[in-house]
Structure 1
Amino acid sequence: MNDHESPRSRARRKQDVLARLEHDEDLWVATASTDGGPCLVPLSFLWDTTGDSRDRDGRGAANTGTGTGTGTRAGVAAAAGAGTEAGTAPDRGTVLLGTRRTNPTARNLTPGGRVRLSLGHTRDVVLVDGTAEVVEGHDLPPASADAFAAKLAWDPRDRPAWVYLRVTPRTVKAWREENELAERELMRDGVWLV
């Protein structure tokens, strides 16, 4: 992009962000230890839009309260598996990562769970700030685990040394050049602004 190109609209930037989340395979994950030591690593990921991934703030699939859970994972996974439209919304999802439980990235996410993700290069930046939770392989809904394995051609759910990290986006910013800085914020407090 050169200085003479017009900035993208926020709506166009949101479309571009969602395309990257859907199609890219790797991103940068930034965490910090309890004493403030930074950690930045590349990890493969899945943009998980299966309904279960979006129930964190009540805007995802219906919280049905069925199954053995209290209406979070079990009920939402059942609703998503039943073919609801809410289970396929491309702009409502979480970022699903896999890493060894002993790696600094996984250790840094407990207890606070704050994380920053970055996609793209320095001339096409996407920054996602979110909260992460560690999910054991046997606790991850099968639809999410199957989608992760299919996209990335590996399946960590039966490997005891590995865990999933599920990141719920809270802030999303995207820009290419200086002329897009003014409207770079696309999501605030978990809500898309466009």
Structure 2
Amino acid sequence: MLTRLLFFSLIVIGFLVGPAHAQVENVGSKLKAKLEQQNKPEKSTPKVMPPASIPLEPTAVPEDKPPAPPKMKSPEKEKSGSLEKLDRRDAKDVTLACLKAYKQKDFQSLSALSTPGNQEIFAALAEFGQLHPRYKSITSGWRWEAVFQWKATEPLTVRYRGADTAAVEFGATKSESYVVMLEWVDEQWCFEDINSPDRQDFRSLPKERP
């Protein structure tokens, strides 16, 4: 009888202790797993660029385009500068421009008004000035004196020595005429020289261009 009682007591005690012990072990396992999870290093999440900041298409590279050609002046305008409105077909207009340029020692403009043979000479005079070997001879002597004393208000008289040569009188003495000699080159009048023909000889030349 006593033996049965002891056996029954052991069964009851085992029944009461067994589940509690199992529960403690279960809680301990969960706690350990939680601690391990907390101590486990977190994986770094890669940063992602917001969709709005991502370009849909790369910027298109502009095609190479040849530079626009510069606005070029006509040869006459490029050479003459302030003489753009000059009528190069009018002998009086060209003579007036030549005398003004010569009197002001504006050799650059005089070069633009000259024949091809004289263009280089006057262009060099414009560049080197008094250092040019012909500067003194061109700015002194009877030619320079005649031009220097000329006034723009004085009338000009045109005579012709053939179709391609014009003599334009801008001053005179009792025996001489001071004339600007022009040559017809490339459909325009160009400065050639200053002459002093006999006044009667000059007056005898035709007034109309042949």
Per the normalisation by structure 2, the TM-score is 0.26
Q: Choose between structure 1 and 2: higher strand proportion.
A: 1
Between structure 1 and structure 2, the one with the greater Rg is: 2
Q: Which has the higher contact order (CA 8 A, sep 6+)?
A: 1
TM-score normalised by the chain length of structure 1:
0.27
